[in-house]
Structure 1
Amino acid sequence: MKKIEGIVPVMLTPFTEDNNIDYPALERLIDWYIDNGADALFAVCQSSEMLFLSLEERVELSAFVVEKTAGRIPVISSGHISRELDKQIEELAAVADTGCGAVVLVTNRLDPDNEGTDTFIRHVDAILEALPSGTLFGLYECPAPYRRLLTDEELSYCANTGRFVALKDVSCDLETVTRRVKVVEGTPLAIINANAAIAYDAIKAGSKGFSGVFTNFHPDLYHWLYHHSDQDPKFAERLAHFLSLSAVTENLGYPKNAKEFHLRQKLGTFTSAHCRAVSDDVIEKFWALDVILDQIADADIAYRQDIQQRNP
């Protein structure tokens, strides 16, 4: 499997108006991610509304993304949401069978009552023993139902098994990201930052990419920041500031606002903004959100033009 690094969008799940997964829209969305610079895809995650999907839907979703991506870029999948370890193993085994490159473990599920490192490592060991020896894993500090950050000891333990290939870091702290890069040095595990505010600084500190929610708005701009920022550091700083400020919009009804963005900009992906995680009409609830989404789109165009001038 190719390394999991670079721009790793946390995938949205399109739904029809009658609340079923819209697979034709999902296929178009997969192509949109890839055409706009995704280096890997993270299917069945919080942005995918995994807490609102049945196990059957989570498995079908992962299998579909693997099939339609067709080896163009790696696919990693999570989808274990249960508290009980035996049920988690059942979920993870089913996701592993979909052919994804790595099965992503949610840190708060590995220690649902926040009991500490002994519980975390015991659950990691049980999962690694239960799934086939060739299965690769990732880690995800998913904020729901609570944000469970890894200790350095836990991160080192997982990295040194040789079976973990990525951590989606949700510490949102540059010092922590920088330290973690050193902790996993010499292992297969890549630290991939998820916070837009520190994205550029984290890249410079050795983070192996970006996997924040605004990969659903402008993954191509993050792609340039990760892969080409050394061409023009001053422009990269300016772009990073725009990306950081744009990402504040996450608090205005994400992930539904991302679906609205795709619809408003006629990106050819979604046919509906229907969302299980957010039932509100976010355009109505958050005053001037429609204006903000259009402003982000206009700025995206301007930055793409600037990038084109630098990369004719």
Structure 2
Amino acid sequence: MNKNKKDFIPVMLTPFNDDGSIDFGMLTILIEDYIEKGVGGLFANCLSSEMFDLLPEERLALTQHVVKVVNGRVPVVATATFGGGVLEQADFVKRMYDTGITATIVISNMLAEESEASKIFEERFFQLLEYTERIPMGLYECPDPFKRIVSADQLSRFVDTGRVIYHKDTCLDIAMVRDKIEKTKHEDAFGLYDAYMVHAVESLTAGSAGLSCIQGNYFPDLVVWLCDNYYRIDKKKEVKAVQDFFTKNMHLMHDGYPKVAKFMVKHRIPDFPTKVRRGDFGLTIELRDSLNKLWVEYTELMTNIA
């Protein structure tokens, strides 16, 4: 991960056919759209991908397809831990890494139950490192089924192994984000990517490697623009306008996700399917109207910051 450039790493959506199978043709189109928008990498097989509703072989096939289409143009990471004992998780880490990804992502809530102490999680993470040889790793504070936050001290100890190169942060606390960045800044190969767009500019300014947020599935080019311009004094007004846009529309972009995100992708890719495997619902006329108005607001914003 290149700390000299701030990157947007989208948490990828998974397009599904009407019968619920993965639409690999549309996935290829989506990958090309992400790359055309200037992303710095791709996070495949994540919560936005509906990973918990995919079979193990689907997770592997999905990730392998992403790696093949990307063909080395940007790094690809993918989740590889889905419960069970540490040895079982280590086995799937190896299988996922064999797809050709840059790093395998460990979900922080999969190594210890919610009732178990943070120390247990840490011990099992080190066990996982031991059982997976030299495979590069990342961490993901996934909110489902519960959120286990990795402390700054823990993250520092993990990074010190030389094995952890990526962290998707969802703590929502800018003070904690700053602490994590400060305690891991000595490792050039490591990057923290913030998921919380409310403090996106603050996080980038503090030294995060970039952003990895669901809002990028609505407006990837706008998130890329923010990563490229957050520090510019001559763009201070425009940067504030972009930050305010994401903050103001936080709830609209979260409610009904990823269904609503797939609807918004249709503005860029008209044939993109809105089918989801989890939490499917009909898009009301009122919701469609709100989302279409959001697109108009985004279009005007892109014109004003150009």
TM-score, structure 2 length as denominator? Answer: 0.94
SS at match of 2:110: helix
SS at match of 2:47: coil
Of 9-18 and 226-235, the range deviating more from structure 2: 226-235
Residue 204 of structure 1 is matched in structure 2 by 205
Residue 51 of structure 1 is matched in structure 2 by 52
One-letter amino acid of the structure 2 residue matched with residue 303 of structure 1: L
Counterparts of 1:72-91 in structure 2 under 5 Å?
72-91=73-92
1:167 matched to 2:170? The reply is: no
1:37 matched to 2:34? The reply is: no
One-letter amino acid of the structure 2 residue matched with residue 175 of structure 1: A
Give the CA deviation at 1:79: 3.7
Residue 240 of structure 2 is matched in structure 1 by 237
Give the CA deviation at 1:207: 1.5
Over aligned residue pairs, what C-alpha RMSD do you find?
1.7
Residue 121 of structure 1 is matched in structure 2 by 122
SS at match of 2:109: helix
Give the CA deviation at 1:153: 2.4
Of 69-78 and 272-281, the range deviating more from structure 2: 272-281
Give the CA deviation at 1:88: 1.4
How far apart in 1 are the matches of 2:200 and 2:268? 27
How far apart in 2 are the matches of 1:95 and 1:114? 28
How far apart in 2 are the matches of 1:289 and 1:225? 27
Give the CA deviation at 1:82: 1.7
Counterparts of 1:43-192 in structure 2 under 5 Å?
43-133=44-134, 135-187=135-187, 188-192=189-193
State the aligned residue count: 302
SS at match of 1:37: coil
How far apart in 2 are the matches of 1:213 and 1:186? 28
1:248 matched to 2:251? The reply is: yes
For the Cα contact (< 8 Å) 1:26–1:269, is it kept in 2?
no
One-letter amino acid of the structure 2 residue matched with residue 295 of structure 1: K
Give the CA deviation at 1:246: 2.3
Give the CA deviation at 1:251: 3.3
How far apart in 1 are the matches of 2:84 and 2:6? 29
SS at match of 1:108: coil
The percentage of aligned residue pairs carrying the same residue is: 30
How far apart in 2 are the matches of 1:70 and 1:292? 37
* Aligned with residue 287 of structure 2, among 275, 286, 289: 289
Of 295-304 and 67-76, the range deviating more from structure 2: 295-304
Alignment deviations for residues 253-276 of structure 1 (CA, whole Å, 9 cap, x no partner) = 10011111122x252461x21101
One-letter amino acid of the structure 2 residue matched with residue 244 of structure 1: T
Give the CA deviation at 1:114: 4.2
Alignment deviations for residues 80-132 of structure 1 (CA, whole Å, 9 cap, x no partner) = 22233232122211111101001011101122244223312221122212223
* Structure 1 ranges of 4+ moved more than 4 A: 1-5
Of 234-243 and 41-50, the range deviating more from structure 2: 234-243
Give the CA deviation at 1:243: 1.5
For the Cα contact (< 8 Å) 1:252–1:289, is it kept in 2?
no
